[in-house]
């Protein structure tokens, strides 16, 4: 098993399903076996979301697979994990998330140069079906323009 120095796990569907309103960088409270599993790339944030409990922000449904060498001191793969933000950011997020239709979603899980796990989260609003169609149309138009530009060279 090779432990990578930098890890970057993205939530690819997030930008398609949601309109991003604001972004934040947050730390995560993890145990030893959890950070080792993340450094091996054995994590997923595809179904994850964030919610407030007792004025603290928690990430729910983030999957961190069990670390093979943890033995007796392993962790639960889908347990809730506390996110670390300063109080001003937490208050702003809590107020904005209480509005109807707004949610907090993870965009990217990565390790910084010190080896600590960080999470990019976003305040987002769910897209309607017609907005998703517009996104697909714009993506296809951009792809066709790129192909035309490439063929003219």
Report which of residues 61 and 115 the model is more confident about: 61
pLDDT-derived band of residue 89, with 50, 70 and 90 as boundaries?
Answer: very high
Across 43-54, average pLDDT: 90
Please report, for residues 29, 31, 52, 130, the alpha-carbon distance to residue 79 in angstroms, rounded to integers and kept in the order given.
12, 12, 15, 35
Residue 1: helix, strand or coil by DSSP? coil
Report angle CA 138, 124, 108 to the nearest 5 degrees. Answer: 85
DSSP string covering 110-142: EE-TTS-EEEEEEEEEEPPHHHHHHHHHHHHHH
The residue ranking higher by pLDDT, 54 or 77, is 54
Per-residue pLDDT band for 69 (boundaries 50, 70, 90) equals: confident
pLDDT at 27: 93
Domain boundaries, the chain: 8-127
Band (pLDDT 50/70/90 cuts) for residue 4 is low
Query: Which letter, b or e, does each residue of 75-106 get, where b requires 16 or more Cβ atoms within 10 Å of its Cβ?
Result: beeeeebebebeeebbeebeeebeeeebbbbb
Give the per-residue pLDDT at 123. Answer: 92
Asked if 84 contacts 27 with a C-beta cutoff of 8 angstroms, the reply is yes
Q: What is the pLDDT of residue 86?
A: 93
Higher pLDDT, 2 or 8: 8
Q: So what CATH class is 8-127?
A: mainly beta
Residue 1 pLDDT: 54
| Residue 135 to residue 130: CA distance in whole angstroms | 9
Model pTM score: 0.77
pLDDT band at 98 (very low <50, low <70, confident <90, very high): confident
């Amino acid at each position: 098993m090779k432990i990578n120095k930098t890890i970057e796990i993205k939530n690819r569907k997030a930008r398609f399903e949601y309109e991003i309103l604001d972004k934040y960088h947050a730390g995560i409270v993890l145990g030893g076996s959890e950070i080792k599993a993340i450094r091996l790339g054995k994590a997923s944030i595809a179904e994850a979301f964030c919610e407030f409990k007792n004025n603290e922000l928690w990430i729910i449904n983030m999957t961190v697979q069990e670390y093979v060498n943890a033995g007796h001191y392993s962790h639960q793969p889908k347990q809730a994990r506390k996110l670390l933000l300063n109080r001003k950011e937490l208050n702003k997020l809590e107020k904005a998330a209480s509005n109807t239709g707004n949610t907090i979603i993870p965009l990217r899980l990565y390790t910084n140069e010190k080896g600590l796990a960080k999470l990019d989260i976003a305040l987002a609003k769910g897209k309607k079906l017609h907005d998703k169609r517009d996104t697909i149309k714009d993506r296809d138009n951009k792809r066709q323009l790129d192909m035309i530009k490439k063929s003219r060279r």
